[in-house]
Structure 1
């Protein structure tokens, strides 16, 4: 019946063409538009209002102009179709898109499927673009191939790209492993194809390209590809083995995200506000495989190979046993922002407790979100703190049992998912978890005891206690609904927005024993409409039971579900789950664990480590680099400034400009004063390059940085500025003056100085710190280093304010106002400023400071500490009693 559908489509398209092409002139003739225009122009119609006399001609002329533009656009599109080439997109023809749709629809519906496919300009290498992949050799004679026999492997196989293809899909179909898409990319990189175009970006391929395949490529006829070792094909009941490519992520956890608009002839996709892909270039991005981020400061961390991290359109594969959808990845990425803001809030100085890097899985997820152009990345921005991701509860309401090898991994991911939902301004979406201690210990191990108190994680002693807590929540929510004569929580939130927040609650436990199953059944049945659900480890006879594979794919094995079960659930191994939970807890509570679990390695920020290292009398150069003589004519140091906008001051010689990546390298080397290995630099700066290319790019950027620093020196100094020894790049302290190093040395000396010398050192430090590190930059590795420098600036202002408070309270107050502008989340600055206002007798100023602090901490879903409120009240009272 395919011909019937094509006939109906052809008739429908013909009707549309007739309506748009013949309709306007026919209407003009039928209604005698020329006479109407003449009458209006001569004012012959006395019953026509003046406004109508003006509007009618304009409307008629506008319709005529638009019709002419449509005809011109259709002629351009039709010309391209006849010549077999893509018609150029004419920006000044606003109806070109409509014309293209009409012509393309008419052409496709009138042609057979094979001819329609051939109309996309298939290359002459293959007789039919319908054949997916046919091995082609020099001995090919053109005889008809025997499709009943299994073709042998050929040394030169080709694949003709069809609409909707991407490299990982091609690799899975012809090589048996989607992760081998990089081999296809390498074989075809920079190839010019007969139909036009060159492969520069492996995420961007066009229909008609004949891609070379590796020698072991298999034909799809008869020989089934080998399944990837770490990927399980989901059962056909729930999902097809390979999800169809789409311009929007199809993960159930992702609510919405911008998609990609691909412009033909452009190497990189353009982000657009709507979900559309150019018909002539339907390129879905292929998975990206990276070597894993590395923000480590220690050489040992960079010597070892990082685990492979796979990024595709559905989520992030952290390891064979850990996969996260993009919605959850977004929530974790946003939590990273809140962690650094919470650390700013609690810093009181001096900086004896060094900031530590975040766990590796968290940093990996953050980098993956940044590399995905479809997602809106949560930037670290003082002006606007992003909320956490959408409601991420992945399972249907009520109770769901999970079994299989991936059941525990899915339960760990569900625990993380619920606790990651919501945000500072989304109280109704901050999910809570009720879990018994035995189940939590089973999922996370002995380190679970170090998680500490968490208002959103309720750990009870037994399953009975968990059911009791669930029943109390159900009763409480039912009473609130009854008070307002409502039956639905969503309706309650709309009609009574000021009512108590009632976030989703999930029970995670083993399947209740026989004596408690009926009790659990009743509770979970009532919880379906009250945002109370349950994830039960084991079979659940009173609801759906889902089998979960180690990679997260699901299969409904028993019962029925009123809502669709996700085709794939997120999964996490114990170590990754603990590290992500630790980060989420700090983001929401602001408290760092006193006892860090063994699964969360602690790595000190290298820039902070350089402050506590004793400074040598003379700067030491790496071995093999000759010392640079200091000329008497003047200083030879180039001035690199990374506090504020990164720049090189005092350029006096002509030459090449500083590249963007070279500027990032300058900041990276400035915060690693002891030098960094080439591999570590590439892992952090050259994220989109292969390992072999990253080293060359680092060398090129280092050369450019060295050249521009040389332009800023008074005298030419060879073998200086950026030196390399033992595979490590380093800024030469003898020839480069870095402001952040100066700030470090000032704070190092101020901590041991006293009297006027201490005050002078602190004054110089406060004058130097006037902006955040690398202001305006959003480098993914920058956050911990920016926090370190911010702490130095905050500490300098606090210490100097102590020196000025008794003798110069006005200077201390002005100094603290400046510090609050630089770090508006630090509570210690407000407390010190309240003391300064008290010394000035300014009670209103104390009240203003408390209000400003309360407003700032609302971004973190926090409030001023009770001690701060009590102090403000005490200081105001003492002034009012005078």
Structure 2
């Protein structure tokens, strides 16, 4: 308990306030009033160190220390009183109607028998990226739904942790595919406008940030355990009764979207169909983007009616449909059978085709009906995804993934167009999916006229963001306590013109309400500025007109030096090998290596592409084939996923007559893509066909 410690502290303070005056007055008496006379002054000058003068000096020192203590205590008390008064002013008082209602409720509570009532927890008023902010400015999981239900909340829905991890993995795969498809071009200005560098939707960034900052709970999924004996067909984030399930309630549509997204995510690495849905249902779930997404989502089969579902699942010949495979052979080959395809239909179709659906549910598919289904179980879904059986028992079912239309479309972006066509030479690829069309990068890393590091640079602070982000003072690292502060420092480094409060909060804490983050950002940056000022005696972060920026006269940034090298190489009058080498030398490692901040991917990839362009330019300009091969191999070390560099290197090896090395490089590249989960569709085949050389196969 805290009150004994508080009482002891109060008694100690009172003793320090009362004890010294009592001792001084009882032993020495009250202090002498008035100034010393001229005679006393002359006597003190002639003989300053006497017993009387020493006692007087010690007495004066004791009284001064006591006065300092009184002053300190008084300031602390006034500060606490001011804070208390301010809190009381902000505390909302109940209106007369609220007071009357509270009184009636109190009478009702004390007037009834004391029976325990288990009420389900109310859904969150505003779903955001799961977690709260700790004292270090980092996102930490709360003690509520995230730990109990093992899920991630975002603006517009809730996802099981497994689905959130699949979203994060799919987002990472998007950037690997973009790296694979990029074709080097003549080096250009530091500010790139490649269309395939558009950032992923904010919902994806919120999932990545929440997942990175949360810790897995130690226990199994709590909500899904209720009624698990009735659930014997596992699916993503829950389970289905063998006879299928109907979905009703305010969250039924959102739950159907969640089922669509999680099933497609779970089956994105399998060539078979993961979701079968009727066209009217898909239009109701996804809105205007339904037709576009239906053409570019792998694993999605859209049917006009349930009559087509029978042919799709069973096929025209035995063994050719989705449900006609030999289960034992499949289990032997794969170790375990993949989840059954998910079939989503409306209530009218279910009523008209009850027998067909019952047969599919038992043998081939996990059937979900939007509405009541008399032939099977019906779950009532609330907006937070919690389910309750509508069989009269009211027992709780598993918590389902729930997503709004916008949120579901954003998440489907990461699996749409998994293998885009290669871009034309000299340009970058098209937008990764229709949902990304029209989106523009939210960053502008341009080369500014900032001074860069030189041999006689007198600035003591250096910020390294290429590699592990580190702030150095005279070559020694400066400890930055807050992860959010380090992230803000790197964000300002890649935005030399600065960033406002909105840009910083959206980048560091995506998905959280902006109104609750302004104070947190101010605290984070204030702590960072205090740390740097106390360590180096300077302030490197300027704040003017709600815009933060790094002071180029107080700190050097290696990324700015890299941008200047790129600018020099692109503005040179004639091709100069030294300018391309300067770009490569200024790039020791990837931008903020090993950091997985969602806002970082477009900027990191743009920076890497400048270095790839430089390697390709040096290889193309080299008169010696072996030297050109060496530059290509160095570029592959920078980006081991780029198909164009591998194709050029294989071609160079074949030209040199080293066919074994060419085969080894080709096979190693295929294994690397397969390990990353990239399908064998390879834009390098097109390039190899143009050059008349064997293509790099991924299998």
**TM-score surpassing 0.5?**
yes
Aligned mate of 2:399, from 568, 584, 600: 568
Q: Does 1:647 align with 2:470?
A: yes
Determine the structure 2 residue equivalent to 1:459: 302
**Does residue 509 of the first structure (1) align with residue 345 of the second (2)?**
yes
- Spell out the pairing of 1:118-157 with structure 2 (5 A cutoff): none
Q: How does 1:612-623 map to 2 (within 5 A)?
A: 618-619=449-450
1:186-335 pair list within 5 angstroms: 241-242=120-121, 285-287=142-144, 314-319=150-155, 322-335=157-170
What per-residue deviation string (whole Å, max 9, x for no partner) do you get for residues 605-656 of structure 1?
41xx334xxx67x559xxxxxxx9x99986548543211222346717x996
Per-residue CA deviations over 1:161-188 (Å, capped at 9, x if unaligned) read xxxxxxxxxxxxxxxxxxxxxxxxxxxx
1:436 aligns with: 278
Indicate the SS of the match to 1:410: helix
What residue number does 1:673 align with?
496
Contact 1:676 1:728 in 2 (8 A): yes
Deviation at 1:701, TM superposition (A): 0.6
Does the 8 A contact of 2:150 with 2:216 survive in 1?
Answer: no
- Measured in 1, the distance between the counterparts of 2:316 and 2:494 equals 50
Which residue of the partner structure matches residue 792 of structure 1?
A: 610
TM-score after normalising by structure 2: 0.66
C-alpha distance in 2 between matches for 1:575 and 1:655? 44
Secondary structure of the 1:504 match is coil
Greater share of helix residues, 1 or 2? 2
Aligned residues: 547
Aligned to 1:21: none
Match of 1:414 in 2: 259
Change in Cα spacing, 1:401 to 1:632, as seen in structure 2 (3 Å) is: closer
For residues 753-805 of structure 1, what are the alpha-carbon distances to aligned partners after superposition, in whole Å with 9 as ceiling and x for unaligned? 46433x3322211222231112243445433332222222222222322222x
Q: Does the CA contact (< 8 Å) of 1:637 and 1:734 recur in 2?
A: no
Matched residue, 1:365: 207
2:441 to 597, 604, 619: 604
Which shifted more, 390-399 or 339-348? Answer: 390-399
- Does the 8 Å CA contact 2:277/2:302 hold for their aligned counterparts? yes
Is 1:544 the counterpart of 2:377? The answer is yes
Structure 1 residue 509 displacement after superposition:
1.9
Output the CA distance in 2 between the equivalents of 1:479 and 1:459: 14
Cα distance change of structure 1 residues 870 and 660 upon mapping to structure 2, 3 Å threshold:
same
CA distance in 1, matches of 2:454, 2:676: 53
SS at match of 1:610: coil
Kept after mapping to 2: 8 A contact 1:394/1:414: no
Conserved? CA contact 1:666–1:705, under 8 Å? no
Task: Choose between structure 1 and 2 for higher RCO, CA contacts under 8 A separated by at least 6 residues.
Answer: 2
Deviation (angstroms), 1:851: 0.6
Whether 1:868 and 2:684 are equivalent positions in the alignment is yes
Question: How many angstroms apart in 2 are the aligned matches of 1:395 and 1:224?
Answer: 40
Match for residue 60 of structure 2?
none
Does the Cα contact within 8 Å between 2:323 and 2:363 map onto a contact in 1? no
Matches within 5 A, 1:429-828: 432-451=274-293, 452-472=295-315, 475-476=318-319, 489=327, 492-497=329-334, 503-511=339-347, 512=349, 516-527=353-364, 532-557=365-390, 566-585=397-416, 588-589=418-419, 594=431, 602-606=439-443, 609-611=444-446, 618-619=449-450, 635-636=458-459, 638-648=461-471, 651=474, 657=479, 659=481, 661=483, 662-678=485-501, 680-681=503-504, 684-685=507-508, 691-705=518-532, 721-751=540-570, 753=572, 755-757=574-576, 759-804=577-622, 807-828=623-644
Q: Give the distance between the partners of 2:410 and 2:142, measured in 1 at CA.
A: 30
Residues 391, 422 of structure 1: 8 Å contact kept: no
The 3-state SS of whatever aligns with 2:672 is: helix
C-alpha spacing 1:834/1:479, structure 2 compared with 1 (3 Å): closer
Once the two structures are TM-superposed, the CA of residue 575 in structure 1 deviates from its matched residue by: 0.6
Please give the alpha-carbon distance, in whole angstroms, between the structure 1 residues aligned to 2:378 and 2:468: 56
Distance in 1 separating the partners of 2:345 and 2:317: 18
CA deviation string 1:391-437 (max 9, x = no partner): 4464334432222332211111110110111565xx49x87011122
Distance 1:691 1:677 in 2: 11
Judged with a 3 Å threshold, the aligned counterparts in structure 2 of structure 1 residues 702 and 422 are, in CA distance, closer, same or farther, namely farther
Name structure 1 gaps, 5 residues minimum: 1-120, 125-190, 192-212, 226-235, 244-266, 269-283, 289-309, 377-388, 484-488, 621-627, 712-717
CA gap of 1:223–1:851, structure 2 versus 1, over 3 A, is farther
Does structure 1 conserve the Cα–Cα contact (< 8 Å) formed by 2:209 and 2:509? no
In the TM superposition, residue 827 of structure 1 has moved relative to its aligned partner by 1.0
